[in-house]
Chain A
Amino acid sequence: MKRDRPDKGLDKSRRDFCKTILLGTVSLAVPGSILAATEKKGLSDWYGTKYKPAEHLYAMGIKVDRCIGCGRCVDACKRENNVPDYPFYFRTWIERYIETEDGQTIVDSPNGGKDGFKAPASDKKVFKTFFVPKICNQCEKPPCVQVCPVGATYRTEDGVVLVDSQYCIGCRYCIQACPYGMRYIHPTKRVADKCTFCYHRTVKGLLPACVEVCPTQARIFGDLKSKASPVNQFMRFNKIFVLKPGLNTEPKVYYADIDLEVR
């Protein structure tokens, strides 16, 4: 015999309730499991076996005094990584700093520096001026990885922060979290995108595209775990600095000859 209930909507037996819960769980799990089953294991015969990520730790050195602001790195990066050619999507870019005699600092980066720089429009007296290349710092403690709600961005054992574009939901939380502004939403893939140190090149022993084309060797790339690597030499012979050291992100892009004004 049924008990009297004031609300007819709740007029269900415990058995019915349990059935609904079970059915609901199963109906949610089926589409997901079909999706996961169609994905193959997806591992390769060389990555992880012939190439062992744990044996490497990549880093970049930037000699600010050598950058001539030609923008070849920005151009090469866009080609190598299919970064959209609209004016506001960049994995790397060049900033021009102009410090005027009245103590102002003007920073500009027209089209990321890809088409070179025109003479500055301001007629203020220049105290000093220089170019600074910017790129993902591949932090040791990356805030972007910490905030990703679906675990779609991660740091590999060789120290590169990557995005799993199949699992990224495009929520933009990582873009908010990155203190260096290095991420963007890819306009056609609708997922977060960022510099990977040209991961597909570095694991094969090639240089990242931006390092390859830099005509003045302002960018130096190498493996911190190899003593002979150019980046270890760079770190020995220069006084180095990282961007926003106070945030404790432990960047692995090291700058030499940098100015106090650079953020």
Chain B
Amino acid sequence: MWKRIPEQIRHVVVPIVALVVIYLVVRHLLIPSSFGLWGHYRAASAVQNAELPLKYAGAEACADCHGEIASTKKEGYHRGVACETCHGAAYTHTQDQEKQKPQINRARSLCLLCHEYQSSRPTGFPQVVSDSHNPLKQCIACHQPHDPKPPHPPKGCDACHATIQRTIAVSSHGNLACSMCHEVPKNHKLSPRGNPAKLPQLRETCGKCHAQDSSASKEIPRVDMASHGGKYLCWECHYPHMPGAR
């Protein structure tokens, strides 16, 4: 059979078959076994990346044991600050409490990383100029870091609500006190998130000045409270802080 194939073809077929076999063997040996499992890459490499050791445990892991501190923190200004932001990476500590103690840095410089005055920081973020703000005292002497409160509560609403203050100042409502429309709980300035200020819940809040039978100045625009707006509260359509309050 083999001898009946013309000689010139036999001489060509043998090296070609040999080359193909060599190619297949070499390819099998050289390409990593997990290549192409999930895409054009070595799947084992994705696994390696996924199994790197952890350093940060995450705030939930901290709260498992330190629940008391976690619940104090939850109500205060620092509720968005993770434990490990100040105390450093603590995964080892969650696995073995004796092996690693998270750091407690009481230096002013740690607090000032966030709270030193910087013109680039967003308006309303609490900042101090450290050189003139009790330079010899530790921050934690006055401010409890898990529930920081200003020793003197801010005087005006604009200390925190600067954006609203800037818009309302040029609007027709510029001269009104915030408390005229917002009911502000007593402790709002000390613990704002625990005691949120309220939005007006009645149409009559606006009606005091804008109702047809109101005794307020004649220049204030009036509406017929009975027919205008129906079931909606006024601020659901009109934004009272905006210039013109449309």
A residues adjacent to B (C-beta < 8 A): 18, 22, 25-26, 29, 32-33, 36-37, 39-44, 47-48, 51, 53, 65-72, 76, 79-81, 96-98, 116-117, 119-120, 126, 129-131, 151, 154-157, 162, 164-167, 196, 199-201, 203-204, 206-207, 209, 212-217
Contacts and interface: CB of A to CB of B under 8 A. Distances in A.
B31 interface: yes
A37 B41 CA distance: 18
Interface string B51-65: 111111011000000
B84 interface: yes
Nearest to A94: B120
Interface stretch (B2-10, B32-40, B134-142, B233-241): B32-40
B227 interface: no
A180 to B, nearest CB: 20
B44 interface: yes
A207 B59 CA distance: 10
B172 interface: no
Max chain B C-beta neighbours (<10 A), residue from A39, A71, A156, A166: A156
Given A68-B125, A200-B53, A47 B118 contact: no
Given A48-B38, A79-B88, 5 more contacts: A25-B26, A36-B32, A196-B49, A209-B56, A212-B58
B118 A216 contact: no
Given A76-B89, A156-B38, A126 B113 contact: no
Contact of B114 (A70, A167, A203): A70
A167 B50 CA distance: 17
A37 B49 CA distance: 21
Nearest to B117: A119
Contacts of A129: 119-120
23 contacts: A18-B15, A29-B22, A32-B30, A33-B30, A36-B30, A39-B44, A41-B33, A42-B44, A44-B47, A51-B50, A69-B121, A71-B113, A116-B113, A129-B119, A154-B40, A154-B41, A162-B45, A164-B45, A196-B49, A200-B49, A200-B54, A206-B54, A212-B84
Contact of B47 (A43, A71, A130, A216): A43
Contact of B51 (A39, A155, A200): A200
Contacts of A79: 55-56, 88-89
A22 B23 CA distance: 11
A95 B214 CA distance: 55
Contacts of B209: none
A126 B51 CA distance: 47
Contacts of A96: 120
A53 B38 contact: yes
Contacts of A166: 42, 45, 48
Contacts of A130: 120, 122
A130 B120 CA distance: 4
